[in-house]
Amino acid sequence: MIFENLKPQVETIISNEQKTVDERLLEICELLEKHIKYYNWVGFYFKNGDKEELKLGPYVGEPTDHTIIPFGKGICGQVAVSNQNFVVPDVSAQDNYIACSITVKAEIVVPIFVNGENIGQIDIDSNTPDPFTEADERFLEFVCAKVAEIL
């Protein structure tokens, strides 16, 4: 499975202290986008200081206007409140969806916890309808746990 092959690469990226945190996060985005064919936009959002909003961090894919997302708004904003993974097989069926691109068909968002606090998330858009499985969730939980180690 591709996820098992990517785990050691994620660990290598995370452990490279010669690079900044943002450089390592960008490298993870690039790794996932390159090797998982249905990951078309990969990025991180983080809690913006004391504000009830998320701020866009490193990402790869089409540019987005959504650099700030209020808590509760869109899929990412809902995950900031719920502290739960959110898998959206069909974004057109979601009432509270913020469209980034007309090509996006599905989205998965997994929160990042540091000391039990939801401080951010990984957000992945796919141009493929309903591509995400439980294996994606478990892999992205692994990625988020590794990312949490350097935050």
Lowest mean pLDDT among 32-36, 77-81, 101-105, 127-131: 101-105
Give the tens place of pLDDT for each residue, 78-91.
Answer: 999 999 999 999 98
- HSE, side-chain direction, 13 A CA sphere, residue 81: 11
Report the run of H or E that residue 33 belongs to, with start and end.
helix 21-35
* DSSP bridge partners of 108: 87, 124
CATH topology of domain 2-148: Beta-Lactamase (3.30.450)
* DSSP bridge partners of 118: 113
Confidence category of residue 93, pLDDT binned at 50, 70, 90: confident
pLDDT reading at 92 higher than 70: yes
Domain segments of the chain as ranges: 2-148
pLDDT reading at 49 higher than 90: yes
For the question of whether the overall pTM of this predicted structure is more than 0.85, the answer is yes
pLDDT reading at 100 higher than 70: no
